[in-house]
Amino acid sequence: MPSRNSKDVWIRPLLILCCAGAWCLLALPSRAAGPGLAPAPQSPRAAGLQARLAKILAGPEARRADWGILVADETSGETLYELHANRFFTPASNAKLFTVALALADLGPGFRWRTTLETSGRLDPEGTLEGNLVLVGRGDPNLSNRVFPFGGHVQVDGPPDKVIADLVDQLAARGVKRIAGDVVADDTYFTYDRYPPGWSISDLATTDGAPVSALVLDDNNLKIDVTPGIGIGAPASLEALPWGGYYQLRDHVLTVRRGLDAQLSVSRQLDSLDVAVTGQLAVGSPAQQLYLPIEQPSRYIAGLLRYLLSQRGITVDGGIRTEHLLPDQTPPRPAVRQVLAQHESPTLAEAVRYLMKVSQNLHAECLLRTVAHERTGAGSLENGLAVEREFLAQLGLADEVTLSDGSGLSRYDLATPQAVVSLLRYAARQSWSSVFLDALPVAGRDGTLEDRMRGTPAAGRVFAKTGTLLHDNALSGYATTLGGRRVVFSIFANNTPPRAKFDPLLDRVAEAIVEGSGRGPKGAPTTGRRR
């Protein structure tokens, strides 16, 4: 955190008291109530929370950001604390709360994606497929070696291309020995629109900004293992997974003497197949991993599929190609093809648990477009956002949220704390509420909150979605107070200064909510798991 300057250190106690008093006035709850929220009470149990938060927000670092906070009783909607709850803020990954709630409401927790190998040709008795082999993607975000059910920490089994290899094995088991046509990757289940508006160009070079596609292999990321050479001055060796044959790797990594720190970077121009790996790695040191988003995932997967076919002795006479649906095109009628092999995904309930725990952007985008396709027949971002606006209107939140993507990576996204709290209270009353709750990171235990609020009363009591962009932070979810009260909350800190670390301040707010929100209304349940 930035250090205090001399003015901060020698400020008069009277000024500190005045500043804290001013923040107390700002932090007092307004009388206006949003959809589904009761007016803020002037009660002793709310006063304790107000005092705690006023002290946190009066700090010199906290004053440098724009804050929006709302805390309410989960059952009654009674407002316990409110600060700028009706103002718009950049939600960052808190936008995923809306996407996941929409998907669970629209598709149901038991929904599964299906990925298939198909053909409109004929398989002759000698094992020749007279026609093209088509890999049809339908938005499954978990074509990988990831182990499900997800236990809070990532576990893998087998190589990253495990699912595609299994499809090829199914094909070989049917006696296919030769493909007389092309290998085709069909991603028309989604429109070909890889990057939502509002994503930064710097995002596209990182795994956070992996391109959206109806065919997603290992999160559309390429892992490059860098191993030092056998002696000082020798070049390092590079290995790309799931498959390196698509890219031209340029090795500019030198092996240096022991004791020197690893310095590695990977770079590539947009849509280029030339990847440069540069830097240094000490002799005898373990391999290091670099990650790069695959910008043309469907074409990459088509190449990988042909490679895996050849590995199993299945020859391909033709080339590789892709089938896209451009945003201005009308979806074609479903092709009449025979299914030769298929893979069924984990359930949506399992998929959202992984998505929310690790805050996976690409997976959230897949959910939004899957809802669009299942509802409208075209898996476009535009259709997904339209369906989401209908969903928000039904909740009375149409004027409280404006989203440009499903993940929250877009800088165009806006939401009010009031809207988030209303959504959370809505989710708590649905048949899929336990799925939604179990998907959220738990303070001090797992996901993006595993290392936050450890050793505090909030550990194990706060179930919340994090959100982080360069100058914006968010934390929204559910908490059980020390008095047994069940509350919902939304915390936004926007326009934070460069290099400032605001997560600890948001954590302090969450801890204060746990410690100072009092007991629930008389007769209300205070213990036990949520329904």
State residue 29's pLDDT score.
40
What per-residue confidence (pLDDT) applies to 521?
54
Q: Kindly indicate the confidence band of residue 271, based on its pLDDT and cuts at 50, 70 and 90.
A: confident
Q: Where are the alpha helices (DSSP H) in 82-227?
A: 95-107, 162-173
Give the mean model confidence (pLDDT) for residues 433-454.
Answer: 98
pLDDT of residue 44: 63
Q: Is the pTM of this model over 0.85?
A: yes
Is the pLDDT confidence value at 330 over 80? yes
Which range is least confidently modeled, 12-21, 57-66, 446-455, 490-499?
12-21
Domain boundaries, the chain: 35-97+404-516, 114-347
How much is the average pLDDT of 463-478?
97
Q: What does the alpha-carbon distance between residue 438 and residue 174 come to, in Å, rounded to a whole number? A: 41
Average pLDDT over residues 422-450: 98
Question: Rounded mean pLDDT of 146-169?
Answer: 95
Residue type, 105: A
Residues 6+ apart with CB under 8 A from 196: 212, 365, 381, 404, 405, 406, 407, 409, 410
Q: What's the rounded mean pLDDT across residues 433-448?
A: 98
Q: What is the CATH number of domain 35-97+404-516?
A: 3.40.710.10
The percent of residues above 70 in pLDDT, for the chain, comes to: 89
The yes-or-no verdict on residue 12 having pLDDT over 90 is: no
- In this prediction, residue 35 carries a pLDDT of 45
What per-residue confidence (pLDDT) applies to 373? Answer: 97
**Residue 523 scores a pLDDT above 90:** no
How buried is 501 (Cβ within 10 angstroms: 0-12 exposed, 13-18 middle, 19+ buried)? Answer: exposed
pLDDT at 519: 65
Among candidates 449, 467, 485, which has minimal Cα distance to 97?
467
Burial of 313 from C-beta contacts in 10 A (0-12 / 13-18 / 19+): exposed
**What is residue 224's three-state secondary structure?**
strand
pLDDT, tens digit, for every residue of 341-398? Answer: 999 999 999 999 999 999 999 999 999 999 999 999 999 999 999 999 999 999 999 9
Indicate the helix (H) or strand (E) that contains 492: strand 486-494
Percent of the chain past pLDDT 90, that is, above it, reads: 84
Please tell me the predicted confidence (pLDDT) of residue 43: 59
The string of pLDDT tens digits covering residues 475-505 is: 999 999 999 999 999 999 999 998 888 999 9
Eight-state DSSP code of residue 495:
S
Residue pair 420/91 in contact (Cβ under 8 Å)? The answer is yes
More confident residue, 191 or 501: 191
pLDDT of 39 over the 80 cut: no
The answer to whether residue 41 scores a pLDDT higher than 70 is: no
| Nearest residue to 443 via CA among 430, 427, 465, 460 | 460
| Local confidence band at 315 (pLDDT 50, 70, 90 cut-offs) | very high
Q: Residue 250: CB partners within 8 Å, gap ≥ 6?
A: 274, 275, 276, 277
Q: How confident is the model at residue 520 (pLDDT cuts 50, 70, 90)?
A: low
b/e per residue, 146-185, with b = 16+ CB within 10 A?
Answer: beeebeeeeeeeeebbbbbbebbeebbeeebebbbbbbbb
Q: How confident is the model at residue 10, as a pLDDT?
A: 37
- As a whole number of angstroms, the distance between CA 356 and CA 85 comes to 24
pLDDT at 3 > cutoff 90? no
Q: What is the pLDDT of residues 86-145, one digit of tens each?
A: 999 999 999 999 999 999 999 999 999 999 999 999 999 999 999 999 999 999 999 999
| pLDDT (0 to 100) of residue 198 | 97
What's the average model confidence in pLDDT over 187-211? Answer: 95
- Check residue 445 and give its pLDDT: 96
Proportion of the chain in helix, strand, coil states, percent, rounded to 5:
30, 25, 45
| CATH number of this structure's domain 114-347, picked from the four choices 3.20.20.150, 3.50.80.20, 1.10.1740.10, 3.90.1150.10 | 3.50.80.20
